[in-house]
């Protein structure tokens, strides 16, 4: 039945993020240790931080991509109407990616508050397009040093302006 083949969806007030560790850290033991290191780093960045709903979390899960037999890190948090929690998580993910070589995918059903819709539209992908790239192909492209994968300056400016203060 078609109902069973649909991809899982996330609630409108939920932020989901996936961290793909380097290939040499994709076995379960290494991924678990890596998650603990990231958690300690987050705790050091935000000592005594009080989240409005769910705290930042990471779970070690098997990579759902059938081409990979490794492990990845996932997190999901209900943010409700807490704009601060959403942007704090975006900032954390940027800090984590600055410290470690990993690929991060963030999913959220609604546009982050504080982002101008006209500017965002120019830098966003259209979910209705017929052309898609697999998650593994995207990871391979990002990790290929010969391919420039930096976001456009306008897209970076939007996010960095918001998370810098």
Q: Encoding tokens for residue 52?
A: 């409005």
Cα–Cα dist 55/25, whole Å: 25
Are the C-beta atoms of 53 and 80 separated by less than 8 Å? yes
- pTM here is 0.70
Please check the confidence at residue 138 and state whether its pLDDT lies above 90. Answer: no
Q: Kindly report, residue by residue over 104-132, the tens digit of the pLDDT.
A: 887 765 554 555 444 444 444 444 444 55
DSSP single-letter state for residue 56: P
CA distance 64 to 44: 30
Spatial distance between the Cα atoms of 147 and 132, rounded to a whole number of angstroms: 18
pLDDT digits 0-9 by tens, 41-93: 999 999 988 888 888 999 999 998 877 889 999 998 887 767 778 888 888 99
User: What is the C-alpha separation between 23 and 44, in angstroms, rounded?
Assistant: 26
């Amino acid at each position: 039945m078609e109902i069973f083949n649909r991809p899982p969806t996330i609630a409108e007030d939920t932020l989901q993020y996936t961290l793909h560790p380097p290939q040499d850290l994709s076995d379960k033991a290494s991924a678990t240790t890596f998650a603990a290191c990231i958690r300690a780093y987050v705790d050091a960045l935000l000592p005594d931080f009080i989240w409005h709903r769910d705290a930042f979390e990471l779970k070690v899960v098997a990579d759902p991509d059938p081409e990979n037999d490794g492990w990845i890190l996932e997190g999901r948090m209900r943010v409700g109407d807490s704009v601060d929690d959403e942007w704090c998580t975006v900032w954390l993910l940027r800090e984590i990616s600055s410290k470690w070589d990993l690929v991060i995918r963030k999913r959220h059903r609604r546009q982050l508050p504080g982002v101008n819709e006209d500017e965002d539209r120019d830098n966003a992908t259209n979910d209705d397009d017929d052309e898609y790239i697999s998650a593994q192909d995207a990871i391979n492209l990002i990790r290929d040093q010969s391919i420039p994968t930096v976001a456009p300056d306008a897209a970076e400016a939007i996010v960095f302006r918001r998370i810098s203060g």
